[in-house]
Amino acid sequence: MIPRLIASALCALILAPAAPASAQELGALPVPVVDVSAGYAFMRDTTMEENFPAGWYFAAGTNVNRWFGVTGEVTGAHKTFKEEPFFRLKANLYTFMGGPRVFVKRGRFMPFAQVLAGAAHTRSKLTMPGEGISGMRETETEFALQPGGGLGILLTRNVGVRTAVDYRRIMFFEDGEEDNSEVRVIAGVVFGWGAR
């Protein structure tokens, strides 16, 4: 009940300022100079053939002009693998990436494409009661490349929504280790400032 009330309140807060605006005013909304975005991320690890349904992202960017920008992004994806009482493995993947973004503004719609590069950091914690292993930890950081694209929609001058799909490749440069491939879908809220 409470999550529904919170979701309803957020929708009302976002959509209420947009209600009085006419279609012409929405089309005239400027491209923001700076924007930040945060929301939910669902990841499919195609190498492991596993879904990571618990995820999030935070992004910040600046638009140099009305078609090109630069963005940075921090993400997290989490999953617990378990077969009680034999083992429990907590897996966490964090990425820290940045790169160029190109976009086209059509009214209040802003489709975009981007290529991000940076670090992918994995943390895992293994517990195996039968083997006397409790909380064995392992961490690893590798290079990652992530092309993708999506759609931003301006609801008001300062508030919008964004959805995107991307493909991430985590590259292991050690001999015999296979690169990791992931597909990710995000949906979130965008806050922008300034005008281009």
Q: Can you give the residue ranges of every domain in the chain?
A: 2-80+96-118+144-193
**pTM of the full structure:** 0.81
pLDDT value, residue 175: 67
- In the three-class reduction of DSSP (H, G, I as helix; E, B as strand; rest coil), residue 51 is classed as strand
Statement: residue 26 has pLDDT above 70: no
Q: Which strand (E) or helix (H) includes residue 99?
A: strand 87-103
Q: Give the Å distances, CA to CA, from 132 to 80, 87, 125, 128, 146.
A: 19, 11, 14, 6, 39
Is the pLDDT score of 154 beyond 50? yes
Please give the CATH architecture assigned to the domain spanning 2-80+96-118+144-193.
Beta Barrel (2.40)
pLDDT digit string, tens, across residues 107-147: 999 999 999 999 999 999 998 877 777 778 899 999 999 99
Contact 107, 114 (CB under 8 A): no
* CA gap 191, 14 in Å, rounded: 11
DSSP 3-state of 188? strand
Q: What is the pLDDT of residues 45-101, one digit of tens each?
A: 999 899 999 999 999 999 999 999 999 999 999 999 988 778 889 999 999 999 999
